[in-house]
Amino acid sequence: MGTNKERISMTISPTLAMPNFNDSFTIETDAWGDRIGAILTQRGKPIAYMSRALGVTKQSWSTYTKEMLAIVEAIRRENSAADALSSKPNSPVLHHLHVAVVTLWDEIKDAYKRDTYIQSVEHVAKAQPDGPYSQRQGLWLFKGMVVIPSCEVLRTKIL
């Protein structure tokens, strides 16, 4: 049996904080069994959250892939809400909501141009079309996973 404080916290809905767009955001994800979830926080306070069930196919995905899906789904939901409410006249809440554009994929593609290893990957991929390397949307994949170029700044940013 939990403490009185624990019982109270389990019976009330969380209060969402208003976002401060001059401050940084953190997105936390979780993937477990047949569900994914994400919480957008700022200074440790929840701003938004989502949770949803996964279809049969997606349940077999790796935890990392499920957590990336949680990030994508959370951004899609926030974009939909922002689009709907920001176009509503006199909406004070989301009129100025802006979702940051993720530039990481473009940075990876740009770093490919300067990476000699990636140039050798291109040759191997051409010589072995059914080999382990493939390309999708400008990103090089090795057995379905994105190849990260040898760029220390980029690798530090990812880790």
Domains identified in the chain, total number? 2
20 and 63 both lie in a single domain = yes
- For residue 156 the two structure tokens come to 């530090």
pLDDT digits (tens, 9 = 90+) for 104-121: 888 889 999 989 999 999
Per-position b or e across 35-55, b if 16+ CB within 10 A of its CB: ebbbbbbbeeeebbebeeebe
81 and 134 both lie in a single domain = no
* 25, 19 Cβ separation under 8 angstroms: yes
Give the CB-side neighbour count of residue 36, counting CA atoms within 13 A. Answer: 22
pTM of the model: 0.43
75 and 115 both lie in a single domain = no
pLDDT digits (tens, 9 = 90+) for 53-72: 999 989 888 888 888 888 88
Give the domain extent around 29: 4-86
